A = this chain, B = another copy of it.
């Protein structure tokens, strides 16, 4: 059976701290210590999140002896984008409908306002 990458990716992304780690790594690779700093988290807690992200293929870690720099791996995010893209037509249609509804409401309100002034 093929590995279900998408499920692993989505599960890894279902946490605000892990998404914040990805956002930090988007501006460049850094060490675990640098990552832990802004989050006010213990090193083991950060390491646990990093392991989840690494297993999901969302980050990779360097092999430098002293510090193992983390870097973002964007391939899996591309898969998420591609999966989501197939629903674009639906939300664009929905929001188009909402737009028409709001425009109709605005027209009705204007008419109502005009009628009120006539009274």
Contact = CB atoms under 8 A, between A and B. Distances in A.
Give the interface SS of chain A, mostly helix, strand, loop or mixed: helix
Interface in A12-36: 13-16, 19, 22-23, 26
Contacts of A86: 23, 26
Contacts of A19: 6, 83
Contacts of A16: 4, 6-7
A45 interface: no
Contacts of A23: 86
A18 B57 CA distance: 22
B88 A75 contact: no
Nearest to A27: B90
Interface of A: 4, 6-11, 13-16, 19, 22-23, 26, 72-75, 77-78, 80-81, 83-88, 90-91, 93-95
27 contacts: A4-B16, A6-B16, A6-B19, A7-B16, A8-B14, A10-B10, A10-B11, A10-B13, A11-B14, A19-B83, A23-B86, A26-B90, A72-B90, A73-B94, A74-B87, A74-B91, A74-B93, A75-B94, A77-B87, A77-B90, A77-B91, A78-B95, A80-B84, A81-B81, A81-B84, A81-B85, A81-B91
